[in-house]
């Protein structure tokens, strides 16, 4: 089976659940307390995906960036070489969707051919305030899909990462 590896960045505002989504996907675990990510953490998970003539083993190198402003100057170097990004917003905080546009612009400057998938996270919470029509329109503007995820319950987390994985292997 051919093996490839791709760098993927988690992008989104403070506390939307970037670190939690990686933790759920890689370790199948969840942590309630907030552990601010300092700098960058890289996790690795391999998925097997169908391609035209068989299967491919894709190692996802998941770069989890701190979202806070102090790191904005360093952001370009973290984005360099990325093949794709998971754009994460929080279903209880509508402003976190608007925030994603800036991350897309940053990413495109550094990695013009990057693929995106949108994750609307914390879907387990009852106080959803994000208008889904706006999320759909945003995802459509990027020619991609959006998933309603919960890092807490695991809902749609695997699907989100695998969808990006399929875009990455299709682009090869
Ligand atoms: P990051 O700053 O984007 O990396 O956010 P974190 O992954 O650290 O999560 C921020 C807070 O939201 C933490 O307290 C998490 O436990 C919580 N959280 C993350 N994902 C979910 C989720 O899907 N559901 C719920 N209820 N809480 C979540
Ligand atoms: Mg984090």
Instruction: Provide residues with CB under 6 Å of ligand 1.
Output: 12, 14-20, 31-32, 34-35, 37, 67, 121-122, 124-125, 150-152
The protein residue with its alpha carbon nearest to ligand 1, atom 25, reads 122
Which of 14, 20, 43 best tests ligand 1's pocket when mutated (most atoms within 8 Å of CB)? 20
Residue 109 neighbours by CB under 8 Å, 6+ apart: 76
- Please give the pLDDT value at position 96: 95
- Please give the pLDDT value at position 70: 47
Please list the residues that pair with 47 across neighbouring strands.
Answer: 58
Of 156, 122, 158, 116, which Cα lies nearest the Cα of 139?
Answer: 116
- Please give the pLDDT value at position 33: 73
Residue-level pLDDT, tens digit, the chain, 172 residues: 899 999 999 999 989 999 999 999 999 999 877 666 667 789 999 999 999 889 999 999 999 976 554 456 667 778 899 999 999 999 999 999 999 999 999 899 999 999 999 999 999 999 999 999 999 999 999 999 999 999 999 999 999 999 999 999 986 6
- Per DSSP, the three-state class of 7 is strand
The pocket of ion ligand 2, defined by CB under 5 A, consists of 18-19, 37
């Amino acid at each position: 089976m051919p093996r490839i590896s791709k760098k993927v960045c988690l992008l989104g505002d403070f506390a939307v659940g970037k670190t939690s989504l990686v933790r759920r996907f890689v370790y199948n675990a969840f942590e309630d307390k907030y552990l601010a990510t300092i700098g960058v953490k890289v996790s690795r998970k391999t998925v097997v995906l169908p391609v035209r003539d068989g299967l491919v083993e894709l190692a996802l190198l998941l770069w989890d960036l701190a979202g806070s402003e102090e790191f904005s100057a360093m952001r370009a170097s973290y984005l360099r070489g990325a093949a794709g990004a998971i754009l994460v917003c929080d279903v209880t905080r509508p402003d976190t969707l608007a925030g994603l546009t800036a991350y897309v612009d940053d990413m495109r400057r550094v990695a013009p051919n990057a693929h995106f998938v949108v994750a609307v996270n914390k879907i387990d919470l009852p106080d959803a305030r994000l208008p889904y029509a706006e999320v759909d329109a945003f995802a459509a503007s990027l020619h991609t899909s959006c998933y309603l995820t919960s890092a807490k319950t695991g809902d749609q987390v695997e699907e989100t990462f695998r969808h990006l994985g399929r875009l990455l292997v299709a682009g090869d």
